[in-house]
Amino acid sequence: MGFNWFKKLFTSETLPARLRYEDARAALESRSLEVKRELAARSDAPPETLYYLASDPDVSVRSLVAANPATPISANEGLAFDLASDVRAELARKISRIVPDMKSIELSATRDRVVSLLERLAKDEVTRVRQIVAEEIKSCPSVPKRLAVSLARDAELLVCAPVLEYSPLLSDDDLIEIVATSRVQGALEAIARRRCVDGSLADAIVATLDIPAIAHLLTNPNAEIREDTLDRIISDAAAIEAWHLPLVMRPALSLRAVRRIAIFVSRALIEELAQKSDLDDETKKLLKSRAQSRIESNADSATPTPGAAIVNIQKAFKAGTLNDDLIAQAASLQQTAAVVLSLSLKTGIPEPVITRILEAKSGKGITALCWRAGLAMRTALAIEMFVANVPPETRVLPRGGVDYPMNEEEMRWHLNYFGVDATA
């Protein structure tokens, strides 16, 4: 019977459903790579076998051992020093997922070893390994605080951002210190997106004059921005267009803030301000006057006729200067034909298809179209508002006041919905 089993093992290279110790030993003796891979992934493999396979010459075998929850802690500790980053990445993913349930580990000595192993992986020289740890433990309250702080101070945004945005272990004092000292571009934006941002932390972010971070702060409905802090933002906002929309969309603006914002934002955003329900008659009258003034100002500056606008778009495209500013301006002047032509030239999509997307008043379709054209999200919003007249409740708004809110897969889906080949 033993001979027949060995013969079956060598021909089928498949382990039995119920794995015995002698089966595992026979698999190792067979030296078959496929059988070793299967054995390395088995949760019922003997600990001694997994320990032995942790030093196998084949990277794929060691990676499977690193990912196997049944692998003994001593083997995991050795794999943390593996020369292959793929092996360490698998180990990081596994250990990070174990840590939230560490209370189920009976021996405190074993828990200490698991934590030490995780801290070792959190300092790995390869960014991807540290990133896996950060993504897995970002919301976990049971990891040591020193680990969360270490990851939050990482020099790579991919590592620090998840922890800065989600970790419950970082106090306001920790975050304020990071705001003051971090040199990682994008780190402050992650902090500004936190579920709760108190007034002191908001003050610290505003003091940095980090434009994207302040845009995210304004967009965050749970950010506590004190009145004097908002006044400082408004004082600087006239020259910073990225703040205009987030300011207008900010809930619970005081009447004083509304009036100040109306001085410098576009006619379209003034009209958006006027839709707020808590305005008094005097403020509504002021906003109406401001909007009319913007219209007259545009008329005085020799706004091009629809025909001239199309010619201007064609010339700009040939010169390689057809950009967000020109297209957003055409949108704000409701020059539909010029906008349609611009999008067609930038994407290669026929004008009738673009017209159909605009007439459908699909905020997501328009957003995907502008993404395909390589335009900024603010341009997409201008087209939604002034050309397609997308209702406020179905408009797609920029994430953080500046970014596209959908991922690439979603963008392609909405383009496909309108018959556009999104793979081109």
Structure confidence by residue, pLDDT tens digits, 182-234: 999 999 999 999 999 999 999 999 999 999 999 999 999 899 999 999 999 99
Place of tokens 């392609």: 412
pLDDT surpasses 80 at 304: no
Would you place residue 401 in the very low, low, confident or very high pLDDT band (cuts 50, 70, 90)?
low
- Tell me what the mean pLDDT of segment 282-287 comes to: 84
- The CA distance from 244 to 269, in Å, is 8
Q: Which of 12-26, 279-293, 346-360, 381-395 has the highest mean pLDDT?
A: 346-360
pLDDT surpasses 50 at 11: no
Place of tokens 């383009």: 415
Q: Where are the domains of the chain?
A: 306-417
- Tell me what the mean pLDDT of segment 81-107 comes to: 84
* % of the chain at pLDDT higher than 90: 57
Return the pLDDT at 341.
95
Return the pLDDT at 366.
96
- Tell me what the mean pLDDT of segment 353-366 comes to: 94
Return the pLDDT at 167.
97
Return the pLDDT at 251.
86
pLDDT surpasses 60 at 3: no
Return the pLDDT at 59.
97
pLDDT surpasses 50 at 257: yes
Q: Are 92 and 70 in contact (CB under 8 A)?
A: no
Instruction: Report how far Cα 339 is from the mean position of its chain's Cα atoms.
Output: 29
| Three-class secondary structure assignment of the chain | CHHHHHHHHHHHCCCCCCCCHHHHHHHHHHCCHHHHHHHHHCCCCCHHHHHHHCCCCCHHHHHHHHHCCCCCHHHHHHHCCCCCHHHHHHHHHHHHHHHHHHHHCCCHHHHHHHHHHHHHHCCCCCHHHHHHHHHHHCCCCCCCHHHHHHHHCCCCHHHHHHHHHHCCCCCHHHHHHHHHHCCCCCHHHHHHCCCCECHHHHHHHHHCCCHHHHHHHHHCCCECCCHHHHHHHHHHHCCCHHHHHHHHHCCCCCHHHHHHHCCCCCHHHHHHHHCCCCCCHHHHHHHHHHHHHHHHHHHHCCCCCHHHHHHHHHHHHHHCCCCHHHHHHHHHCCCHHHHHHHHHHHHCCCHHHHHHHHHCCCHHHHHHHHHHCCCCHHHHHHHHHHCCCCCHHHCCCCECCCECCCCHHHHHHHHHHCCCCCCC
As a whole number, the mean pLDDT across the chain is: 87
Return the pLDDT at 375.
94
Q: Are 378 and 328 in contact (CB under 8 A)?
A: yes
Q: Among 5-14, 252-261, 349-358, 390-399, name the one with the lowest average pLDDT.
A: 5-14
Return the pLDDT at 103.
61
**Nearest alpha carbon to residue 130 among 157, 92, 163, 168:** 92
Return the pLDDT at 300.
44
- Tell me what the mean pLDDT of segment 137-155 comes to: 94
Return the pLDDT at 279.
82
pLDDT surpasses 70 at 12: no
Q: Among 2-11, 141-150, 289-298, 371-380, name the one with the lowest average pLDDT.
A: 2-11
- The CA distance from 197 to 205, in Å, is 10
189 vs 241, more confident? 189
Q: Among 95-99, 265-269, 351-355, 380-384, name the one with the lowest average pLDDT.
A: 265-269
Return the pLDDT at 332.
77
pLDDT surpasses 90 at 2: no
- Tell me what the mean pLDDT of segment 138-144 comes to: 91
- Tell me what the mean pLDDT of segment 34-58 comes to: 91
What amino acid occupies position 275? Q
Reported pTM? 0.71
